[in-house]
Each structure stands twice: as C-alpha cells, then as structure tokens.
C-alpha cells in the first residue's frame, strides 16, 4: 500500500506513527487514577504538548546532525526566535496562532541562513563553537540589549493596551486556531481511568505528523542521500567536483525552521516568550534527545525527546511524601533506608538518574534507543526462526 509518494514499508511506518500519536492520551494513562502507580501517568495536556513540540525540535535537529554529522550547539536561538515571533503577532494582530507560526518559520529560516552562512565555513568542533557563540549572543541580546523587542528578563507577553487589530468582538482571549481554543479539553472517564483530550495537544500532534512526513521524504530523497554522503566522507565528495556547502546550508536552514516551529508552538500553548529559551542548556538538551534516541534514524529523536521530557516531568515530582506512600508497608528502619537511597535518584535529583541512563545507552547502545528496539526485534525473529526450524526437523518426511 503506497501513499503520498512513500514506499509500502514507509507508508505502514507512517500509519503506525499517526496511530500512536493520536492515541497518546490513552497510551500515556496506563494506571487508574488514585492508584499508587498513577504517579507515572503522563496523559495530561502540558506534558503531551511537550512531547510533540520537543519531538519536532529534535526531528529538525536530526536532519542536520543525524544526516550531515554537523553538531550544532546553537539551535536554541531559533527556538527563541520562533516564540518571540508568535507573541508579537498576538500583540499586533490577535490570538490566532496561524500568522505567528508562519512568521516564526520564515524569521527562523532567515536567521538560520545568516548563522549557517557564517558557521559552515568551518566544520567539526569549530562549527559547533561558532553556533554556540551565536546562540549565546542571541540570548544576551534578548535578555538585556533588545529589551524593546523582547522585554528583557521579564519576557514578552500580551497586555490589554496592545494593538491586536484583528481581535474583533467575541474572539477568544487566548491562543486559538480559528476559534478552536488551545487550552480547552474534554475528559472521558472509564472506570478508574480519566483520559484528557486537549485541543492544544492535537494541534501540536497534527503539526508533528506533518513535519515527520516531511522529514521522512527528506530522508528518502536524493537530497537526503547527498547529506549522508557528506557525513560519510566530505573530502572524498569534494574530490568528485561536488560542492557540499549548498547542501549543508540547506540542511541547516531546514533544521532551524523546525526549531522555529517548535518555539512557535510553545508560545501557541502559552502566550509568553522569554530569553531562557535561547540558553545553551536548551541547545544541549536537543543534542541529548537526538543521541539518546538514535541520531540519523527517523524515530530516534522523537523517542529521545519523549524519554527526557518524561523523566523531567514525572521523576522530578516523586518527593519524599510519595516515597513514604509507596514503602509504608515496610518496617520503619527499612523504609527510611530505601527512601534515603531513592532520594538521590528522584525529585530534585532526577538529573542523576537521567545521566546514568544516558551513560548506559551510550556505552551499550551506541545507536540509541532505536538500536535497543532493533536488537529486541532481531532476538524475537531469531528465536522464531529457530523454533520453526526445530519444528520442521521433527516432522516426519512424507
């Protein structure tokens, strides 16, 4: 079955991704409300939106890093530019998210063109340092110099005296998509489960599906093949007479536009933009997401983004009170000992757990979480083939 110019295999893959994305509110709510394990549920709108938004961010970064091998430490600059663009559209036009998102994609693309044109004159660690320098300059400009445009450390937000020339009577007073308000939800109660279906999440999810399809076409295109050739051996490619610069610049701009779109969606969910989104830590986070999930793979960045955001939002909320509730059945001395040890791995110390898991993945699964899934699938196939072979040998010949 072929669809939208994809092969049969890619079509099936895309349909699986679409189904998983649309069923996320159910998949991420495996435990009934009120149970001790409900702490691990992740089916609430804010977190689901983060899964989709940072998935888009990581998909775009993977087009640059995963395909060309150019490691950028400055992609947070485009994330911030996208957020500022959307909030300015709120202030000037109204709360419809479409003009802001379109502006964010264009502005972040132009900004990426400027930074990429300069940074791509170098490669390797020099390219990485240049992108980091641009990102830090952007952060400092937004934080202290360009305060008329960014509102400095307070952050850019919408005020009642802003123009909003397209608001009109009866228009929603919060971000919306032609009247579909982002922060509105409907709930479905089934037994002990409560599933939340949020407008904002599904808006982000549909955008994520579209950009995933675009990345799939890029991966399978001659352009994607050229980017892989650059990663494999750019020197040898240059000897063939091909200039790699236009291809790497195009990949950088596309990647920057993805980041700008992710920043725009952040402001579409929460009408606020701050300079902290441009900090180097945000750039480092998307690098971790891509490597953890599997650089150069289609699903890897999405898995890595979900993995990190899950730990950040779920494990960070497991405090001593939650731990006491879990281990209350144990004798007091043993309970206090287990909680004392666990305290170093959850709550405010969740970074330690994430760091250890990242080390284990890098050491034992260099290809990321995708490689782990491939190994499991390969083991099942080998076991099945062995069972089929043993069954064939035990059957008598006719």
Residues of the chain with pLDDT under 70: 1-3, 390-398
Structure-token match 């610049």, residue found: 249
CA distances from 379 to 342, 370, 375, 384, 388 (A): 33, 14, 6, 9, 14
pLDDT (0 to 100) of residue 395:
61
Structure-token match 């008598």, residue found: 396
Q: Which tens digit of pLDDT belongs to each residue from 217-256? A: 999 999 999 999 999 988 888 888 888 999 999 999 999 9
Where does residue 384 rank: exposed (0-12), middle (13-18), buried (19+ CB within 10 A)?
A: exposed
Q: Vertex 120, ends 114 and 126: CA angle to 5°?
A: 120
pLDDT (0 to 100) of residue 396:
56
Q: Vertex 125, ends 119 and 130: CA angle to 5°?
A: 30
CA distances from 334 to 318, 319, 327, 346 (A): 19, 18, 9, 18
pLDDT (0 to 100) of residue 267:
95
Task: Report the distance separating Cα 298 and Cα 67, nearest Å.
Answer: 11
Which residues, 6+ apart, have CB-to-CB distance to 42 below 8 Å?
28, 29, 48, 51, 310, 313, 314
CA distances from 352 to 44, 315, 355 (A): 25, 11, 5
The residue length of the chain stands at 398
Which residues, 6+ apart, have CB-to-CB distance to 271 below 8 Å?
86, 87, 90, 95, 157, 158, 174, 175
pLDDT (0 to 100) of residue 377:
87
Where does residue 22 rank: exposed (0-12), middle (13-18), buried (19+ CB within 10 A)?
A: middle
Which residues, 6+ apart, have CB-to-CB distance to 82 below 8 Å?
104, 105, 107, 108, 259, 260, 261, 262, 263, 264, 265, 266, 267
Task: Name the nearest CA neighbour of 324 among 22, 39, 6, 29.
Answer: 39
Phi/psi of residue 92, each to 5°? Answer: -90, -40
pLDDT (0 to 100) of residue 240:
86
Q: Which tens digit of pLDDT belongs to each residue from 357-376? A: 888 888 898 889 999 988 98
């Amino acid at each position: 079955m072929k669809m939208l110019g994809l092969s049969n295999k890619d079509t099936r893959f895309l349909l699986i991704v679409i189904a998983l994305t649309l069923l996320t509110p159910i998949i991420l709510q495996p435990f009934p409300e009120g149970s001790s394990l409900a702490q691990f549920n992740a089916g609430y709108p804010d977190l689901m939106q983060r899964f989709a938004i940072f998935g888009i961010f990581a998909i775009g970064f993977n087009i640059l890093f995963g395909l060309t091998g150019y490691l950028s430490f400055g992609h947070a600059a485009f994330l911030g530019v996208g957020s500022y663009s959307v909030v300015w559209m709120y202030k000037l036009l109204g709360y419809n998210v479409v003009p802001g998102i379109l502006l964010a994609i264009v502005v972040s693309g132009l900004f990426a063109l400027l930074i990429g044109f300069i940074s791509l004159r170098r490669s390797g660690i020099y390219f990485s340092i240049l992108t980091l320098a641009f990102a830090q300059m952007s952060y400092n400009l937004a934080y202290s110099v360009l305060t008329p445009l960014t509102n400095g450390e307070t952050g850019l937000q919408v005020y009642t005296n802003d123009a909003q020339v397209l608001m009109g009577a009866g228009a929603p007073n919060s971000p919306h998509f032609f009247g579909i308000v982002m922060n509105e939800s409907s709930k479905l109660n089934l037994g002990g489960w409560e599933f939340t279906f949020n407008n904002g999440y599904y808006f982000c999810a549909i955008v994520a599906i579209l950009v995933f399809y675009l990345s799939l076409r890029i991966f399978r295109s001659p352009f994607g093949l050229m980017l892989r050739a650059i990663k494999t051996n750019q020197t040898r490619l240059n000897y063939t007479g091909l200039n790699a610069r236009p291809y790497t610049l195009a990949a950088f701009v596309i990647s920057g536009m993805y980041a700008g779109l992710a920043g725009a969606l952040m402001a579409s969910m929460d009408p606020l933009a701050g300079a902290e989104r441009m900090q180097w830590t945000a750039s480092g986070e998307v690098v971790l997401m891509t490597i953890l999930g599997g650089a150069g793979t289609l699903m890897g960045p999405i898995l890595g983004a979900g993995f990190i955001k899950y730990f950040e939002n779920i494990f960070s909320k497991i405090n001593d009170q939650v731990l006491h509730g879990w281990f209350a059945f144990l004798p007091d001395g043993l309970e206090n000992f287990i909680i004392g040890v666990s305290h170093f791995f959850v709550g405010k110390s969740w970074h330690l757990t994430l760091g250890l898991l990242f080390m284990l993945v890098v050491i034992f699964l260099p290809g990321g979480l995708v490689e782990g899934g491939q190994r499991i699938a390969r083991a099942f196939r080998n076991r099945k083939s062995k069972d089929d072979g043993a069954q064939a040998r035990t059957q008598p010949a006719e």
